[in-house]
Structure 1
Amino acid sequence: KADENIDTIMPMYTHLRQAQIGTFSHFALSYADALFRDLDRLYITYVRINQSPLGAGAIGGSRIKLDRQKTAKLLGFKGIVRNSIDASSSRDTIIEYTMELTIMMLTLSRMTEDFIIWSTDEFGYLDISDEYSSSSSAMPHKKNPDPLELLRAKAGTVSGNLFSMITIIKAIPSGYSRDLQEIKTSLWQASATTTQALKIMNYVVKSLIINKERMQQASGNSYAISFDLAELLAIKNGMSFRTAHKVMGLLVRKAISNNRQPLRMLREEDIREVLESLGSKLSAEEVLKDIKETAPQKSISSRQSLGSPNPMQEQTMVKLSRGRLSAYSKRIAKRKGLVDEALK
């Protein structure tokens, strides 16, 4: 979706208020990066999980000379948990794994919240396909995002699984105790729930209908362009950003008082009034010209900082993400091959 929407302009939000102009691609890539971090954590934790406890005995090993390294290799493990007490009673890697699943579910939950809000009539930025929606039992016009709402709730379920495991393990003494049996249910449930959630989110994202015109319209009438204009005033006129910020803040207030008109619809007299109230020597004509020339697309293209929604930056980020995904696919396939070989 990011690659398809590099030029899909939309407002970006902080505090659920329009903040700056960006692109849907930039939004999508932000979650791609978050999910890559989730994957990074799981990939690293696998190294700690992939250690065999076999041969540790009940707690103190065996007088039989077992080749623990060989059995570990035959079973597809990378190595062994060396200390026999640690091997029989520690579950920290399981807690770590479930915590990472919880973080991943939190990422997915935040995504669902954005999709649910942006698919409302009030926003209308995107449509969730009928396949992943439900009709109302009473109101024939409604299309409810039930699968996404359930996915959002499942983040709480997995969090509950994690806290259940932590609560069970918190006071267990060294050595095995039957309490540890109780963490299995939470472990399997957290794994299965997260796996299903990822599959559902993949299907939902692929089927999303992006309403580019609605996003463009919202961007064109948004006061979020004010930040770019404040920077432009500061750079062009050699003034402090604080002063430019105040100028634009008063111009926005003036536009709002004029029946919430877009900034580009301000009259030169309105701008002059604001500048005079601040004792500014800026030309009202020049300021109005800057406002009219700073369209959303130009605003984005002018961004210079690394990681911004500038189209050139977006293309680079898409390329880097594809590279990371390809590298992970190869490494995970190799790991899976080793496990499959051990299970033959």
Structure 2
Amino acid sequence: TYTMDLISMVEATLEDPKQVLRAQERAARDRAMAEMKADGVEYEERLERIQDVTYEKPLEDLLDAAFDKYCQEVPWANDYQLSPKSVLRDMLESASDFKGYIQKLGIARSEGILLRYLAEAYRSLDRTVPIEKRDERLRDIISWLGFVVRSVDSSLVDEWENAGNPAALDATPPQGIDEVVADRRGCTLLVRNALFRRVTLAAREHVRDLGELDDDWGMSEIRWQKALDAYHEQHEEILTDGDARSAAMFSIDESDEKTAHVWHVHQIFADEDGDHDFGIMGDVDLDATQDGGEVIFKNYRVGFIEDLLED
């Protein structure tokens, strides 16, 4: 949990994106109400209990205790207070891209607030976490976050980068004239997250969400349902554990990057038998993806590998 906990520490120091947190709280209360109703809790008691339900606050007790101790040594820090929350962490744990997270919470009118918050999270992670404290996963996240913010509105990143040298040089790679992909690390993680989000939704049988995500690429809700029905004729479940998330289940073929500006990508579904015979294949339109900050696919298809290779 090292990387996610470190992100939670940084998020606790950032200004609250109130509209985003209110949307998180509404979603949490809706889930709690549904669960209590299913458990047979009386309506009046549900209303009473729901008042204690709010958005996630990771490490709240630990951070409060640590901050109190810090204030004993640094008295002026008492002028500030921590505000634990999970916005960036929630995006990462749910494998959501920028637009996907807006859709998930229903916060289209607060898009600018989320974007500015993510830009501040990027700046804080990049400037305050010492290089020696960054593992590979965190370096990927910082690069991905910079890629997302820069793709949606580059001025937010340029604004503070121009004010001084950033702490991590690898988070803001040079823009080579002949480079098709300006930020390879960030773009790779963007694609990887987008594909694993589909694995997670498929495992939960959220076929409507899958249809909304992929209808533009020819995979409607009906086609996703047929694909998953075929999968479950052969396998009982879709796994989403650490092995399912590993790099072994995801591949990128960059052979046509310079000529066609595409990546050929493949995400394998992990099954309980270890057959690894089902997945997603598609081509990533690199120009459109970098312009919009979300993955744009071409030649997108889902099914058993032998059938996909024939297509």
Same fold (TM over 0.5): no
Bigger Rg, structure 1 or 2 = 1
Say which structure is richer in helix.
Answer: 1
Greater RCO, 1 or 2 (C-alpha within 8 Å, sep 6+)? 1
Question: Structure 2 length as normaliser, TM-score?
Answer: 0.24
